[in-house]
Structure 1
Amino acid sequence: MAFDIKPLARAEELVVRDMDDEVLVYDLASDEAITLNLFAGTVWRACDGTRDVAGLMDKLHQDMPGDLVTEAAVWQALDMLSRCDLLQQRVMAPANRDRRTLVKALGIGAVAVPIVAMISVPTAAQAASCACVNPGGCITQTACPSTVNCNPSGVCAP
């Protein structure tokens, strides 16, 4: 049953940094940077594989002020975390809680709306601008005329 799920946050191949009220997660496997707002980050960190949704809500009530935590907000956060591949297994809301119903349940002015933003990071070859710092720095820059030398101005030179 969907209510018996106990989500587990993915930890492998991730670099995680706390930044004020956000959590920045860099996925080394997909070269994507993911930003979690305070609510989504708190949900993600609470996903330890031992808590079901009710347990997550209890934990979040301890960690977050006031009445920000709702079941709909937790399901929405789990859906977003799943879509960003930040959970070990995909989490699906119960059949009576489809995505549209969850968004309606959150309400227009909800404060605890989980926000997850994903940015694809270009590979070194895609980001190549023919600039180098050290001799040999052009090796990964396939668009440069040389992959060996940097000239004195810091440009890959023939």
Structure 2
Amino acid sequence: MTKLTPNAAAEHSGQSRATIIRAIAAGELAATKHRSRWSIDLDDLDRWTAQRPVSAGRGTDGRFRKGEVPEAFQMPLRASQSAVDGQNPPSAVHARLEALEALCGALRGEIEDLRRQVRELAAGEASLPPASPPGTKRRLWPFSAKS
């Protein structure tokens, strides 16, 4: 049975050392501690790595693929392109367009409401009398005044 340290286990599995320690603390990864040092069995590490979900940017072995960036979803420049390609039927494109136009209308209305509120607040501040200058300086603790 091969035993690994958390650093070696992290390198072997493609995870960080902190992830390995977190898994040990959570009880997800079996490890033994001997004189303040962790030792992890290679079989347990492989079992734990296989159980972890594979996320974007990782291969099936769980390691990061260096130099590879997952491709972002590319929207076509025009809705007509996707309709021609058969990806989106015209009714779906029109429904999406109507939803986006409704959202834009709602945002325009909200912007106008905010502009109106700014004008009202600016007009209200102009009608307020100027604040009176502060009198003598008040101290929080009168006994701490240096006199």
TM-score, normalised relative to structure 1? 0.23
TM-score, normalised relative to structure 2? 0.24
Q: Which has the higher contact order (CA 8 A, sep 6+)?
A: 1
Q: Which has the higher helix share?
A: 2
Q: Which has the higher strand share?
A: 1
If you compute each CA radius of gyration, which structure gives the higher value, 1 or 2? Answer: 2
